[in-house]
Amino acid sequence: MHEIVQAATRFAATHVAPNAAKWTREGRMQVDALKAAAAEGLLAFQAPRTWGGHEIDFGDKLDLLQVLAHHSYDFAFSLTNTAGCAANLATTLPRAVAERYVPAMLKGERFGGSALSEPGAGSDFAGIKTSAVKDGDGWRLTGEKGWITNAAFGDVFITYAQTDPTQGWRGIGSFLVDGTRDGFRRADPEALAGGGVIGAGGFKLENYRVNADEVVAPPGQAFRRAMASVNQARTYVAAMCVAMVDACLDTAVAYGKSREAFGSPLAAKQGWRWMAADIATDAEAARQLVASAAAKIIANEDAALASAHAKKFATRMAVQRISDACQLMGAAGLREEYPFLRHLASARVANYTDGSTEMQNERIAAILLGPAQ
């Protein structure tokens, strides 16, 4: 096991497992926990070695995110968003520009993410309205972003904006946005009944100036790069859903062996055992779909179809099977000491992020049938 995955496993046991319920109760991202993760090198898992990062391969990334998501999907999702943003800046911006952000992000002094969605455009990414207008050798950005992971507390965002509405997706570019500069105004974080630990929020840009050397991907490339990286995101979201289902099944199995009803343990009753077996089968099926998508990503093959299958199946399955595992527990499953309701809310979130379940179907159908007439 890679040393940083080992570190994540220790961190999950010492920091995430004991605190996940409290974080959910408080309903907000715990910045101190991200700082503690940074002290263990966890925010540098993806950054290049030339930046002091671990640059782990995709298989190790799945392992790392799964050990964290076992206890808190939301924490793992927030962590990978800021770590991924830092790695992206390190590999795309001129070194002198990236120096101003990447070291601070790896140390947990600043946090970030990717800002595609807007209050008026989620699934329809090509329909974003945030505009980028040429200003000398740089750009001026105006618009609003919403539902952005880490926007409740972060201030470094790879932000997508339309440079020419007549060009559709080809007009979209991505730009470094620094929340400490003029023209950036943070919105109130989303007040969520579940999933608040992700720190989803938004921000407004008013004539925000982007310098020429702060363009992450120019128009024509930004949309393509976002679509290429989304296959990885879909696969790790699916893997994290498997981790949550495993956690819930493990908990229910342990409980069912000790809890008695009608003179014998719950785990001795056929109806109870079969539901547990069905959960295990679906988790295994999702695991295999994740493995298939991951193998394509690692081999640098087209993973669009495999990652869409994995995400669609795993996220839907997680909602159903986490709920089933909770049913196996009786009323005890509702207690916050157990992961069921926390993971159920996270599984719902997973059905939206990085392309909703319906968008996975759109992708699968387009590959199966060609474009809709």
Ligand X SMILES: Cc1cc2nc3c(=O)[nH]c(=O)nc-3n(C[C@H](O)[C@H](O)[C@H](O)COP(=O)(O)OP(=O)(O)OC[C@H]3O[C@@H](n4cnc5c(N)ncnc54)[C@H](O)[C@@H]3O)c2cc1C
What is the binding site for ligand X (CB under 6 A)?
A: 81, 113-117, 122-123, 147-149, 195, 198, 200, 349, 352-353, 356, 358-359
Q: Which is nearer to ligand X, 108 or 199 (CB)?
A: 199
Burial (0-12, 13-18, 19+ Cβ within 10 Å), 294: buried
Pick 251 or 315: Cβ nearer ligand X? 315
> In which element (H, E) is residue 20 found?
helix 17-26
**Residue linked to tokens 């440079």:** 163
**Cα–Cα nearest to 105, from 88, 124, 122, 129:** 88
Torsion of CA 302, 311, 29, 104, to 10 degrees: -10
- Provide, rounded to whole angstroms, the least separation between the CB of residue 93 and ligand X: 19
Residue 205 CB, shortest distance to ligand X, in Å, is 14
Q: In angstroms, what is the minimal distance from the CB of 201 to ligand X?
A: 9
For residue 25, the minimal CB distance to ligand X (Å) is 17
Pick between residue 131 and residue 356 the one whose CB is nearest to ligand X: 356
| CB nearer ligand X, residue 149 or residue 163 | 149
Nearest CA to 89 out of 150, 47, 132 is that of 47
Q: Which is nearer to ligand X, 66 or 80 (CB)?
A: 80
Tokens (6 digits) for 297: 């990503």
Nearer Cβ to ligand X (271/370): 370
Report the b/e string of 209-222 with b at 16+ CB within 10 A. Answer: bbeeebbbbebeeb
- Phi/psi of residue 261, nearest 5 degrees: -150, 140
Distances (CA, A) of 76 to 4, 81, 82, 205, 307: 14, 9, 10, 28, 19
Shortest spacing between CB 322 and ligand X, in angstroms: 17
Cβ 299 to ligand X shortest distance, Å: 27
Buried b / exposed e over 62-95, threshold 16 CB at 10 Å, is: bbbbbbbbbbbbbbbbbbbbbbbbbbbbbbbbee
Structure tokens at 7: 């570190």
Least distance from C-beta 358 to ligand X, angstroms?
3
- Minimum CB separation of residue 352 from ligand X in Å reads 4
Closest CB to ligand X among residues 163, 360: 360
Q: Which of 25, 26, 60 is nearest to 42 (CA)?
A: 60
Nearer Cβ to ligand X (162/251)? 162
Taking CB positions, which residue lies at the least distance from ligand X? 122
